[in-house]
Structure 1
Amino acid sequence: MQRIELAENYEISRVIRGGWQLAGGHGAISADEAVADMVAFADAGITTFDCADIYTGVEELIGRFRLRYRDLHGQDALNRIRIHTKFVPDLEVLPRINKADVEGAIDISLKRLNLDCLDLVQFHWWDYAAPKWLETAQWLLELQNAGKISRISGTNFDTDHVRAIIQSGVPLTSIQLQYSLLDRRPEKQMVTLAADHGFSFLCYGTVAGGFLGDRWLGEPEPGHPLENRSLTKYKLIIDDFGGWDLFQHLLVTLRKVADRHQTDIATVASAAMLTKPGVAAVIVGARNRDHLKANLAISDLKLTEQDQADIDAVLAQAHNIDGDVYTLERDREGRHGMIMKYNLNKGE
């Protein structure tokens, strides 16, 4: 597994194990099996884990995993494990949030994760109409200075808001954002801002909820309703990208590339993102270790110039998706959609 220095003295694996699939609402899981799966990922080299305070039960599971990993391999091995959580203040709290609310949430994450200092906190803000997002970023900086947070990052902020946070004096280590062969909105402005200010990208959605996989090659365009909210979301991105026919053309091309490397479409789609400027790592969703071998292959795959040229030829035909990072999602969801998504992330 490739590793990369995300910040000075802070190294992560280039594939990150996502935690959302372990949250409530995704089906029953065994806590013991979930912890064993995390141990297997870490032993294989995927030593960075993503979670959030809003993902029901996931921080507690990762806290159990940390203690188990220390018992199995010792403190030195545990020191290589990195936990990226998210601070996601409750939607209804945003208009009246204060520093005590922020510190209270951080303290809860510390306790759940069995940490004295959070490795990396990714700040999310549901609604720009609630104006305290910049003050909240400053309170996170104060908690960093107090030793409760090592590094501050963001997730799903657009370029203007990221710029404002940085200009306010809050140093951002990374931004977690949707970035894939289908969705290249970060290339409009965010890539330049990242290069200018030295932060990196942690990418989710690199396989578009499974659409960028062999399962959909040659399949007819699905109708509504789709199987889950994730597929619905990424089907809209496919429509914005250029429609089902162009999407199938991309899958055919990715399959040819995969054949050259004796791998699968999803691995190629994720590996392609690791070649993009500013991208430090991709986040893979996993309920268990069933796809661990394929996850490990992502950082091993080296695309050739011909591979890249073939992919780029298809992407040159794609539409320019409107807006900046996460702008469409905010516009499409509106307040009702934000409430639904908030409850979904909580497992309700």
Structure 2
Amino acid sequence: MQRITIAPGYEISRVIRGGWQLAGGHGAIDSESAIDDMIAFADAGITTFDCADIYTGVEELIGRFRLAYGNQRGTEALSRIRVHTKFVPDLAVLPVITKAYVEGVIDTSRERLNLDCLDLVQFHWWAYDIPGWQETAGWLKELQQAGKIGKVSATNFDTDHIEAIVASGVSFTSLQLQYSLLDLRPEKRMVELAADKDFSLFCYGTVAGGFLGDRWLGQPEPEHPLENRSLTKYKLIIDDFGGWELFQALLSTLRKIADRHDVDIATIASAAMLTKPGVAAVIVGARNRDHLPSNLAIANVKLTDTDLAEIELILRQAKELEGDVYTLERDREGRHGSIMKYNLNKGE
């Protein structure tokens, strides 16, 4: 597993295991099996885990995993484990948010994860028109200075708001954002800002909820309603990308490349994102270790110039998605239900 240093003394695996599939609403979870699975991921080299304060039960589960891993593998092995959580204040709290509220949520995450100092906290703010996001980022910096947070980061902010927060004196280590072969919005402005302000990008949605996979190759265009909101969300992205015919051309190209490397389409779709400037890691969802071999392959595949050129040939035919990072999702909330909250609840 490739590893990368994103800040002095702070190293992560280039594949991050997402925790949203362990949250409520995704089916029953056997906690002991889930902990054994996390140990298997860590032993295999995927030592970085993503979660959030709003993923029901997941921080506690990862906290138990950390204790078990330290007991079984020792303190040196445990020191390689990184846990990235999210601070997601409730929408109703935003107008009246206080530093005490922020500190209380951070303290709860520390307790759940069995960490005196949280490794990395990714800040999300539901509505830009509600003031307080800049001040709240400042409070997170103060909690960092107090030793309760190691790295302050963000998730699903657009370029203007990241730029404003950084200008106010809050340095971000990373930004978690939707970034895939179907969604290149970060390349409009965010990639350049990340290079300028020295923060890394963590990509989710690299397999578009499963659409960028062998299951959909050669299949007719699905009709609404789709089986879950994740597919609904990414089908809208496919429509914006250029429609089902162009999407099938992309899948065919990825399948040809996958054949050369003896892997599946999803692995190539994620591996391609690791070649993008500024991208430190991709986040993959996993309920168990069934897909561990393919997750490991993401960082092991060495895409050639020919591979990348063939992908680029398809992408040049695509339409440019409107807006900046996460703008479409915010605009669509009213038309398609609470997509934003769903995305955050599932790790996005």
TM over 0.5: yes
Q: Would you say 1:113 and 2:125 are equivalent positions?
A: no
C-alpha displacement of 1:130: 1.1
Matching residue of 1:123: 123
Asked if the contact 1:25/1:344 (under 8 Å) is kept, the reply is no
Q: Letter of the 1:315 partner, please give it.
A: L
Distance 1:344 1:51 in 2: 10
Report the secondary structure of 1:122's partner residue.
Answer: strand
Where 1:290 maps in the other structure, the secondary structure is helix
Q: Where do 1:282-297 residues align within 5 Å? A: 282-297=282-297
After TM superposition, the structure 1 = structure 2 runs for residues 1-348 of structure 1, keeping only pairs within 5 Å, are 1-334=1-334, 337-338=337-338, 341=341, 345=345
Q: Letter of the aligned partner of 1:38 in structure 2?
A: M
Contact 1:41–1:289 under 8 Å retained in 2: yes
8 Å CA contact 2:330–2:340 kept in 1: the answer is: no
Kept in 2, the 8 Å contact 1:159–1:193? The answer is yes
Give me the identity figure in percent: 77
Distance 2:60 2:152 in 1: 21
Which digits, 9 at most, give the CA deviation of each residue in 1:286-317, with x for residues without a partner?
A: 00000000000000001111101110000000
The 1-side partners of 2:266 and 2:11 are apart by 25
In structure 1, how many angstroms separate the alpha carbons of the residues matched to 2:10 and 2:335?
A: 37
Supply the AA of the counterpart residue of 2:271.
A
Give the secondary structure class of the aligned counterpart of 1:152: strand
CA contact (8 A) 1:18 1:51 kept: yes
* Distance in 1 of aligned mates of 2:314 and 2:101: 48
Asked whether the 8 Å contact 1:56–1:346 carries over to 2, the reply is: no
Which amino acid is the alignment partner of residue 325 of structure 1?
Answer: V
Write out per-residue CA displacement over residues 58-109 of structure 1, whole angstroms, 9 at most, x where no aligned residue: 0000000000000101111100000000000011101100000000000000
- For residues 259-299 of structure 1, the C-alpha deviation after alignment (integer angstroms, 9 at most, x for no partner) is 11111100000000000000000000000000000000000
- Unaligned regions of 5+ residues in structure 1, if any? none
**SS of match in other structure, 1:203:** strand
The residue type paired with residue 85 of structure 1 is T
Letter of the 2:28 partner, please give it. Answer: A
**TM superposition shift of 1:343:** 9.9
Asked if structure 2 preserves the Cα contact closer than 8 Å seen for 1:91 and 1:339, the reply is no
Deviation >3 Å, runs of 4+: 334-340
Instruction: Please tell me the root mean square deviation across aligned C-alpha atoms, in Å.
Output: 1.5
- Provide the rounded CA distance (Å) in 2 between the counterparts of 1:159 and 1:187: 11
1:340, distance to aligned residue in structure 2 (A) = 7.5
Give, as a single letter, the amino acid of the residue that structure 2 aligns with 1:208: A
Shift of 1:346: 8.4
Aligned with 1:172: secondary structure?
coil
The 2-side partners of 1:146 and 1:205 are apart by: 34
Distance, in Å, in 1 between the alignment partners of 2:117 and 2:152 is 12
Q: 3-state DSSP class of the match of 2:323?
A: coil
Aligned partners of 1:34 and 1:335: how far apart in 2?
36
CA distance in 1, matches of 2:118, 2:87: 11
Q: Which amino acid aligns with 2:302?
A: K
SS state at 1:270 partner: helix
1:276 aligned partner, one-letter code: K
Contact 2:95/2:132 (<8 A) preserved: yes
Once the two structures are superposed, residues 29-82 of structure 1 have per-residue CA deviations (whole angstroms, 9 ceiling, x without a partner) of 100011000000000000000000000000000000000000101111100000
| Conserved? CA contact 1:17–1:286, under 8 Å | yes
Q: Secondary structure at the match of 2:152?
A: strand
Shift of 1:336: 8.6
CA distance in 2, matches of 1:266, 1:346: 19
What is the one-letter code of the residue matched to 1:224? H
| TM-score, reference length from structure 1 | 0.98
Alignment CA distance shift 1:340-1:17 (3 Å)? closer
Measured against aligned partners, the alpha-carbon deviations of 1:106-164 in whole angstroms (never above 9, x if no partner) come to 00000000000000000001111111100100000000000000000000000000000
Instruction: For 1:129 and 1:302, locate their aligned partners in 2 and report how far apart those are by CA, in whole Å.
Output: 44
Distance in 2 separating the partners of 1:344 and 1:131:
20
Tell me how far 1:337 sits from its aligned partner.
3.6
Provide, for residues 171-190 of structure 1, a one-character-per-residue CA deviation record: whole Å limited to 9, x for no partner: 10000000000000000000
